[in-house]
Structure 1
Amino acid sequence: MATGPPASGLTTAAVRALQALGNGPAGRADQIADRLAEAIRLGLIAPGERLPSEAVLSDQLGVATLTLREALATLRERGLVVTRRGRAGGSFVARPADGPHSRPGQADLTVRQLRELGDLRSAIFGTAAALAARRATAPEIQTLRRRAARLAAANTAAERRQADTEFGVAVALAAQSPRLTQEEANLRAEWGDLSWTLLRDTDHAETVRGRLALVDAVAAGDPEQARRLAEQQVADEVELLIRWRVDVYRTEVDQ
């Protein structure tokens, strides 16, 4: 039985995260192209995924259809999007080339650089979690629970990265801080997906439990606990990457 193309599953959380990428409002075609490219690298839009129609996507991003069309043309030139014609056609995300913070790029980061980037992530995510515990509305808490459930159901590293990115951005959105949301989205893009390729299924289950505990702290209005959990989760990722980086270094020395 024939199957159709992947659904255009650009979620509301992904759209809000996409809008937060970059600096300031995006109204020009080159700005939209840059944000879409960053969203692809971040995993908010998965390789092979079909984008919504031009009319829908331009409405989601708050730009004119002509502006979006120009942005998509730029992405095609960069090899990030392919367009197919016919009933099963549309614009699809191509598999992007490795960026500076994909697996090969992170292998070039020193332990000190990983710690510094982790320190910044901890400051942003910890503050966002604490503020979310003070400010989150009931619908936002329900959104966090749905994001955590989506992470729990994710099977591949790419799916898990995308789900956790949406979770992190949802925490920042619940903090009612556009600047924190922008920084969280940008840092997620810079951090890359290496940690998700290193996690075993048992590690994934533990990660989900940590995210659920964070949601419970936000729902309970406990900013200190929310901050502590958020900072610990970042610290765990940093430690995982540092162990991996040291192992890579030792292998290179032994060769």
Structure 2
Amino acid sequence: MDGKGWTQHVEPVRAAGAAEAIARRLSELIGARILVAGDRLPPEKTLAELFGVAVMTVRHSMAVLREDGLIETRRGRGAGTFVVPDILTRIGELTALHPYTRAEIEELTAWRIAVSGEASARAARLASDAGLARMRELELAADAALADPEAYRTADAGLHLHIAELSGSRRLLEAEQGIQHELTRLLAGHPGGTGSRSTPDQRHRALASAIEDRDPVRARAQFAVHAEATADLCLPFVQEPAGA
């Protein structure tokens, strides 16, 4: 159906507020780079089955995502509903309507350290050799994508989601998806270029090395350094609202 397995991250939703919940979940999967530009969504009937709702409920959700400019529906040959090609630009435009404040960036950083730091520590204890090898592949992919903001955001999110998978905790993985969604929103409009992505603390070698060495204390500490480096990258560009 989708060839990527992203539907494993979908669960039935409750009837109350279901349309909004579905739109929010799909938006989160787009922000977490599990769904990326050009990806085709299943038909509405299939989505309704996945979420355990009526087709009309899914139709309302699709309307919300189309209104936000995150998806588009094409007619004729190659018809279907797709994530828009310029998705990072669109996410940046949406974020600009309600930009992050200093307090929100600091809160996001604390959330990352709590969730992703724990995931890193657990990965250091629990990861299989195959999981570590895959982590190394994803780290190299992120390094190779430094010059391309969209490719790098996808690779970076993929690496952190994989580390969360290595933790063996479904709840940590779900939380990591939310974190990556927030990071995509935060970073989509960031003016920094390749240089800002290639500093030692922004790259992942120290964190990956701690996990490979099966040192949970060092893995947790290295993740905190990594998260704080991202905050330091973004805070200089915060424009607090007048009167704040």
TM-score by length of 1: 0.72
Unaligned runs of 5+ in 2: none
Instruction: Note if 1:231 corresponds to 2:231.
Output: no
- Which residue matches 2:133? 142
Distance verdict in 2 for CA 1:192–1:32, change over 3 Å: same
Measured after TM superposition, the shift of residue 73 of structure 1 is: 2.8
Residue number among 144, 153, 158 corresponding to 1:153 in the alignment: 144
Between the two proteins, the alignment pairs up a number of residues equal to 230
Post-superposition Cα deviations, 1:44-75, rounded to whole Å, max 9, x if no partner, equal 3234x1316549x95xx894599696575334
Measure the CA separation in 1 of the matches of 2:224 and 2:82: 36
Residue number among 14, 30, 33 corresponding to 1:40 in the alignment: 30
- Which residue matches 2:12? 26
CA RMSD of aligned residues (A): 3.7
Distance verdict in 2 for CA 1:194–1:86, change over 3 Å: same
- Which residue matches 2:154? 162
Distance verdict in 2 for CA 1:188–1:207, change over 3 Å: farther
Post-superposition Cα deviations, 1:14-68, rounded to whole Å, max 9, x if no partner, equal 555x44xxxxx43577454432122224443234x1316549x95xx89459969
Give the match's secondary structure for 1:206. coil
Measured after TM superposition, the shift of residue 133 of structure 1 is: 0.1
Measured after TM superposition, the shift of residue 104 of structure 1 is: 4.4
Instruction: Note if 1:83 corresponds to 2:73.
Output: yes
Measure the CA separation in 2 of the matches of 1:101 and 1:224: 38
- Which residue matches 2:82? 92
Residue number among 186, 197, 201 corresponding to 2:194 in the alignment: 201
Q: 1:217, 1:226 within 8 Å by CA — same for their partners in 2?
A: yes
Post-superposition Cα deviations, 1:102-126, rounded to whole Å, max 9, x if no partner, equal 244334x1x2332122112111111
Measure the CA separation in 2 of the matches of 1:35 and 1:207: 33
- Which residue matches 2:179? 187
- Which residue matches 1:51? 40
- Which residue matches 1:118? 109
Measure the CA separation in 2 of the matches of 1:115 and 1:142: 32
Unaligned runs of 5+ in 1: 1-7, 20-24
Matching residue's letter, 2:95: S
Measure the CA separation in 1 of the matches of 2:123 and 2:155: 19
Distance verdict in 2 for CA 1:70–1:214, change over 3 Å: farther
TM-score by length of 2: 0.75
Percent of pairs identical after alignment? Answer: 22
Measure the CA separation in 2 of the matches of 1:139 and 1:62: 35
